[in-house]
Amino acid sequence: MNVFLKLFGAPVIPLDQIEQVEGPSKDLILYAVPAMIFFTLVEIIVSSIQNKHYYEKKETIGSIGVGIGNLIVSASLKVIMLYGVVRIYNWVPWRMELNWWTFPVAYVIYDLCSYWAHRISHEQRFWWATHVVHHSGEYYNLAVSFRLSWVQHLKIIFFLPVAFMGFHPVIFFITYQIAVLFQFWVHTEYIRKLHPVIEYIFATPSNHRVHHGSQEKYIDKNYGATFIFWDRMFGTYQPEEEQVVYGLTTNIQHKANPFYINFHEYKDMWEDVKNAKGWKKKMFYIFGSPTKIMLEKKARMEQSKQVPTEKAEEAAV
């Protein structure tokens, strides 16, 4: 019992002393932004000198605009998230002390939650709308890591299990930030396949390039954020084979407009729901598989094209 209390009997954190959480879990992402910008500029310059078409002007402007907006939204929600996580920590009776050894445990569990949050974001349109921003780039480069939806924080609900397990809030927020920063380096063409052991365990640039592919064999594969072994365990792993074609199956317009990039899917969803007949169909257009919705809309468009042709042929006869 004493051992249990020593491990899981940490005192509550008074809300008027929340600075003891905010201080140690300073915004690592904000501090890392200069380095991210530096390496992105290096990649832009090197790819230009080598005449490699890894960047496109309008798309890069869009990525930067989306990234700036995301930083503003994240900063605005920081206090709310901080108080929310601390309240959960105070509520559960199995609170853990702030110990370094809880970080790797929290990170692995967090990454498992990230796998399922990511996978659901591809399997249900409501959540896909919070993620499509990241996949809308037709070029693969470090700037793509900036393309994070302004409403992606809705997915915090998928990570609440980590908070409810009693990890110290400092551990929770450091885990979150390092998990986000890890994904920066995987968005590049310059790092090819690494050692087989590394490729087997981690979500490397090669593994993540597959995830951004629009070919049928690559769609909805390799969801792992840090660890790729989740995909191997749950049957969603696909190695990089043929050259990846990046972007969506139907690419977006207005590539430099961060507002369009963030909200175009919501506009399309509203139009589909408005025109759908019956609640079952309306719910399908909100929570159905994005792939199935795309195929249905594509089939309907092809059918509408065939009808005028058939009528014209009948008239000619």
98 in a domain, yes or no? yes
292 in a domain, yes or no? no
**Residue 303: pLDDT band with limits 50, 70, 90:** confident
Give yes or no for residue 1 having a pLDDT over 50.
no
215 in a domain, yes or no? yes
Q: Is the pTM of this model over 0.75?
A: yes
Cβ neighbours around 213 below 10 Å, total? 22
Q: What is the mean pLDDT of residues 298-316?
A: 65
Cβ-proximal residues to 217 (8 Å cutoff; 6+ apart), any chain? 238, 241, 242
196 in a domain, yes or no? yes
Let me know: does 179 contact 227? Beta carbons within 8 Å.
Answer: no
Q: Is 100 helix (H, G, I), strand (E, B) or coil?
A: coil
Domain range for 209: 2-234
316 in a domain, yes or no? no
140 in a domain, yes or no? yes
304 in a domain, yes or no? no
Number of folded domains that form the chain: 1
Let me know: does 54 contact 43? Beta carbons within 8 Å.
Answer: yes
Residue 298 is predicted with a pLDDT of: 84
The rounded distance, in Å, linking the Cα atoms of 248 and 285 is: 18
Tokens linked to 219:
């769609």
160 in a domain, yes or no? yes
